[in-house]
């Protein structure tokens, strides 16, 4: 009893000093964090805390804030106690090449849609990732899905028919169409057609089925500081909190409903009487990917395959509709291709590749507004590394500053202007370097985006078909849309007036 009394007295004595002890501990750890990377410049708050990153991720303007840091401090910038970000193409390639000793950092844990299962984007183990990627490659390339382009064509036809039957304005009548919302309906039907074996029918119903878009936008904007700051979501996993707040298949709407749909769609393929199908799920099954793993891959495809491509389509269309000279040149090329019989209906990708100005528009749209701006941070290997004379300590996370990357000097002094001609005017060596740099917005090497070819297939077709059939006017020229970036672009209320074109 006496010892208990002494312990109680000791605790009472220490209690007033607890705040001081905590402050002292924070100061000590902050100093230690600052010391490791003190030789690399960056915002003051980022040198000893995660406050700069949290504020940036939550601002809706992270693309601009990280680019401003790049302008002020250079191509390698310190943004957190153990975080750097870079816009240097060579360092990005160095970190992700096939023989690189860098690995994915725990930033990628934030890419789990189902917190219980990794997908190809969240998998940290290099060997597991590489083996799974090899099994999935054929499905994404279309080698095991001969209907891939036809699936795209079906959804393009659906979109054109929806616009023609519901949104054509004539004379004084105005039937405003939110092309921001419509673009996502289109990409959702495309990706669910590929991933689930059937389009969910966003275009057919012209509505946000399961409230996916509404709830996903809320989730993405709220979760940005968690997804974008590795120690935060690492804490959520270690504490178990993530399993209490994550979507569940029992949810009637949003991500949870898509998890339920994935379970049903994949489960049907593993039934004893299931027939073989040559689509995305069928390819995964044939290549021996387990049932639970396929479900996880379908979920990440929705985000990576619909939200990002929809933002690319919206962003490029906005620049086209606000650049009369560019729009006129692209229309002339489209009309000539149709008149000369060089374009099927819908246009096929091999035909679109023969249209140089269209291809320049596709590339310039991706460059001007890269669809995904998450840091995708890699981790410096044991022993550290040195790049351009800069020592990079082992364990340091280095992210991709993609928005600053897309304004690299190789693209010209007018990088802040939407000008497709840069892709046609450049000398061959410069153009190749521009294309190599642009490719980095999809990642590089073993970590590159598997859906890149699918995204290009959509964009090679959709601008051609929309502009072949319709004229568009922006309804509110002073404020054409609402746009924010939380790793992914959230773009809303892009209202246009649509008129039928009298062309072949």
Residue whose token pair is 């000590």: 28
| pLDDT value, residue 13 | 55
Distance of CA 255 to the CA centre of its chain: 17
Residue whose token pair is 């500081």: 225
* Structure-block tokens of residue 142: 């279309």
Q: Would you call 402 helix, strand, or coil by DSSP?
A: helix
Q: How far is Cα 426 from Cα 411, in angstroms, rounded to an integer?
A: 9
Q: How far is Cα 155 from Cα 178, in angstroms, rounded to an integer?
A: 18
Q: Would you call 254 helix, strand, or coil by DSSP?
A: helix
Residue whose token pair is 């590749």: 353
| pLDDT value, residue 213 | 92
* Alpha helix segments (H runs only) across 37-125: 51-58, 62-73, 89-96
User: Do residues 203 and 155 make contact, with C-beta atoms less than 8 angstroms apart?
Assistant: yes
Burial of 31 (C-beta count, 10 Å sphere; 0-12/13-18/19+) = exposed
Mean pLDDT by groups of 10 residues along the chain of 504 residues:
55 55 50 78 93 95 97 97 97 95 94 89 94 90 80 95 97 95 96 87 95 89 86 85 83 86 90 86 91 91 88 98 98 97 97 98 98 96 97 97 97 97 98 98 93 94 98 96 96 97 68
In angstroms, how far apart are the furthest CA atoms of the chain?
Answer: 100
User: Do residues 197 and 279 make contact, with C-beta atoms less than 8 angstroms apart?
Assistant: yes
User: Do residues 258 and 212 make contact, with C-beta atoms less than 8 angstroms apart?
Assistant: yes
Name the phi and psi angles at 241, rounded to 5: -65, -30
Give the torsion sign (CA, 188, 367, 346, 277). Answer: negative
Binding-site residue set: 449
User: Do residues 446 and 382 make contact, with C-beta atoms less than 8 angstroms apart?
Assistant: no
User: Do residues 108 and 120 make contact, with C-beta atoms less than 8 angstroms apart?
Assistant: no
| pLDDT value, residue 268 | 92
Query: Domain 37-500 class?
Result: mainly alpha
Domain positions in the chain are 1-34, 37-500
* Structure-block tokens of residue 321: 């509709």
Binding-site residue set for heme: 449
């Amino acid at each position: 009893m006496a010892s208990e009394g002494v312990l109680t007295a000791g605790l009472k004595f220490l209690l007033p000093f607890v705040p001081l002890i905590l402050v002292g501990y924070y100061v000590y750890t902050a100093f230690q964090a600052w010391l490791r990377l003190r030789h690399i410049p960056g915002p003051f708050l980022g040198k000893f805390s995660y406050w700069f990153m949290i504020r940036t991720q939550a601002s809706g303007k992270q693309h601009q804030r990280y680019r401003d840091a790049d302008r002020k401090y250079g191509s390698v910038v310190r943004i957190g106690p153990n975080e750097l970000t870079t816009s240097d193409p060579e360092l990005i390639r160095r970190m992700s090449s096939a023989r690189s000793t860098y690995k994915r950092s725990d930033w990628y844990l934030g890419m789990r849609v189902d917190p219980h299962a990794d997908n190809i984007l969240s998998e940290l183990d290099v060997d597991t990732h590489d083996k799974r990627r090899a099994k999935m490659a054929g499905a994404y390339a279309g080698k095991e899905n001969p209907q891939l382009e036809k699936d795209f064509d079906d959804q393009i036809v659906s979109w054109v028919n929806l616009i023609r039957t519901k949104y054509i304005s004539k004379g004084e009548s105005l039937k405003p169409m939110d092309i921001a919302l419509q673009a996502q309906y289109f990409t959702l039907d495309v990706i669910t057609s590929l991933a689930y074996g059937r389009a969910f029918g966003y275009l057919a119903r012209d509505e946000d089925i399961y409230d996916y878009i509404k709830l996903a936008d809320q989730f993405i904007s709220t979760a940005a500081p968690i997804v974008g700051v590795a120690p935060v979501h690492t804490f959520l996993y270690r504490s178990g909190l993530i399993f209490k707040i994550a979507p569940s298949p029992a949810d009637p709407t949003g991500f949870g409903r898509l998890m339920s749909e994935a379970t049903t769609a994949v489960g049907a393929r593993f039934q004893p009487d299931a027939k073989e199908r040559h689509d995305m799920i069928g390819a995964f099954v044939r290549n021996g990917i387990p049932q639970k793993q396929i479900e996880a891959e379908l979920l990440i495809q929705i985000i990576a395959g619909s939200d990002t491509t929809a933002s690319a389509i919206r962003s490029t269309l906005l620049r086209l509709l606000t650049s009369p000279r560019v729009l006129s040149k692209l229309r002339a090329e489209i009309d000539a291709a149709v008149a000369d019989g060089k374009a099927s209906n819908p246009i096929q990708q091999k035909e679109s590749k023969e249209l140089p100005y269209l291809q320049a528009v596709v590339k310039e749209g991706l460059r001007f507004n890269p669809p995904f701006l998450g840091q995708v941070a890699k981790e410096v290997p044991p022993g550290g590394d040195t790049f351009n004379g800069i020592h990079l300590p082992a364990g340091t996370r280095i992210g991709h500053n993609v928005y600053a990357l897309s304004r690299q000097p190789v693209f010209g002094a007018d990088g802040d202007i939407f000008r497709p001609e840069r892709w046609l005017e450049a000398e061959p060596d410069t153009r190749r370097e521009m294309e190599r740099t642009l490719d980095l917005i999809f990642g590089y090497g073993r970590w590159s985006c598997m859906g890149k070819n699918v995204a290009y297939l959509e964009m090679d077709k959709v601008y051609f078909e929309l502009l072949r059939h319709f004229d568009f006017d922006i309804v509110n020229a002073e404020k054409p849309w609402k746009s924010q970036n939380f790793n992914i672009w959230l773009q809303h209320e892009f209202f246009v007036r649509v008129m039928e074109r009298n062309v072949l």
